Amino acid sequence: MEMSRMASTLGILGGGLALAGLVAYTLAPQMLWLVTLCEVLALGCLIVFFVTHFETFKAFSVRRSTKLGLNSALMVLLVVAILIIVNFLSTRHTARWDLSETQHFTLAPQTLKILRGLPQEVKVTVFAQERGPSIGTYRDLLDSYKAVTEKLKVEYIDPDRRPGVARQYGITRVDTAILESGPNSTRISAPSEAELTSAMIRVSKETKKRIVFLEGHGERSIQDRERTGLSIAKEALEKQSYDVGTLSLLQETAVPASTAALVLAGPKRPVTKDEQTRLNTYVTGGGSLLMLLDPDARTELDALLTQWGIEAGRGVLVDLQDRLAQGDLTALLIRTFTEHEITQDFSYAVLFPVSRHLSFNEEQGKEWDYVPLARTSPRSWAETNPQGRVVQYDEKEDVQGPLPLAAALSWKKAPEEGKTRPAIVIVGNSSFASNAYVNYPGNTDFFLHAVGWLAEERDLMSIAPKEPAFRPFIPNPAQERTLLYVQVLALPAITLFWGLSMWRRRRRL
């Protein structure tokens, strides 16, 4: 009796040691000696227990009820084992089928290549409202990314519920995703494959590309925090992992070779001939230039532009259709874009207040590929005499639209080995990037896309966007007035008339 009681105690002790070994392995897998000791002692105790109770187990096993119960237990264990094996194989060898109308969940080959070649872990923190319109798109897209690589970690944060975290990351706009990898970080504001992949490659790079702003001619300053400055644009570039600085060609004899893109943002005073020569030398030598030219600015850049086949038109653009609702006729709200890497993923209109148009001479610019990026509507014109309030088109003086106000130029010839292809983006407006307007949704995207294209990130931006099954309707001022008349006046009037008619009919009964 005493031996049987001791064997039962050893059996309980063996089960406890086996469980303790599993717990120790879960909590501290590096302490293998402790796990091994627990399991060896457990095995010894259980062997003694089974040897001591061998006759009891033998008598128990020959019972009919035991055999039926054992068969049931074996069947349950077999099903559990099959489920474990299937789950293990499915996690190691996943298969996904994209049955959506627009193949929304099929990643581009460029994205797959980048994900499979990530050098280190990338963390994505998405700041979006739990019931917001973009959270679902972010989840679907990032799930597709996570199915390709294990180096992607994702966290979703509602800025309304966790404002402290949003404040820590400097979040001022919902539906923003921040990507972090090592010491680098960047952010995107649109849940698209082109934006996310571009940000992922930027954040995984060890070096930063340098964006330089030219100064010395009354340009908008990246240090100016007033409405006319470019401090917000500078911060946006730095959040995209660019190194931002300034340059004066009145003091320097050439643009530094480390410059990925040079920006001339709204000069007001003349650019000297020597500076223009240095600019042309920089561009033709493989440089990239972003020129933002305001109407009636006396920059004396016509000769330089002519070398590239560009002419900056006179006057101010006026649009009766694509403009800011209830705003001035010169506050253009551009919705018409040409298919190009810079404008391929636009879902918002771009606000261009007080702009000029551009034209291209194919003979003078025969060495360049010219693409107009943005155009006004057919109900627009270039007003050459913008004194007072503009209300009427003068066919003798003005230029009829639609007219381009932004264009991209790229060198036709293949660049020499080791050099980049010359590229230019010209916009007939600089205020769209100023602190007063850059936070308008489409303005930020247009500015950052233009700089990204010039900074030789075209391969990333060439990822074709998925055409959404749902296409939002953005009304122009005429359509807004129509909706106002229909929704606010017509429908309530019809409802009131119908109600009065029913009321009178019921009273007659």
Mean pLDDT of 483-496: 79
Looking at residue 282, what is its pLDDT? Answer: 94
Q: Between helices 441-454 and 231-239, what is the axis angle to 10°?
A: 60
Helix, strand or coil for residue 271?
coil
Tell me which H or E stretch contains 198: helix 193-203
Chain centroid to CA 449: how far? 10
Answer whether 230's CB lies under 8 Å from 265's CB: yes
DSSP-assigned states of every residue in 308-327: TTEEE-SSEEEESSSB-TTS
200-209, 386-395, 405-414: the lowest-pLDDT one: 386-395
Looking at residue 306, what is its pLDDT? Answer: 93
pLDDT single digits (tens) 201-236: 778 777 788 999 999 999 999 999 999 999 999 988
**Distances from the Cα of 483 to the Cα of 348, 470, 474, 488, angstroms:** 20, 20, 12, 8
Share of the chain above pLDDT 70, in %: 79
Dist. CA 324–CA 337, nearest whole Å: 17
Answer whether 252's CB lies under 8 Å from 215's CB: no
Q: Terminus-to-terminus CA distance in the chain, angstroms? A: 100
Answer whether 222's CB lies under 8 Å from 244's CB: yes
Looking at residue 407, what is its pLDDT? Answer: 95
**Distances from the Cα of 390 to the Cα of 249, 275, 331, 477, angstroms:** 39, 37, 12, 17
**Distances from the Cα of 233 to the Cα of 197, 225, 241, 504, angstroms:** 21, 10, 13, 64
Looking at residue 165, what is its pLDDT? Answer: 87
88-97, 310-319, 396-405, 458-467: the lowest-pLDDT one: 458-467
Dist. CA 38–CA 44, nearest whole Å: 10
Q: What is the residue-averaged pLDDT of the chain?
A: 80
pLDDT single digits (tens) 251-298: 988 999 899 999 999 999 999 999 999 999 999 999 999 999 999 888
**Which domains, ranges and CATH numbers included, belong to the chain?**
2-92 (no CATH), 106-209 (3.40.30.10), 210-455 (3.40.50.880)
pLDDT single digits (tens) 64-106: 665 566 666 656 665 666 666 566 555 555 555 555 544 556 7
Looking at residue 220, what is its pLDDT? Answer: 94
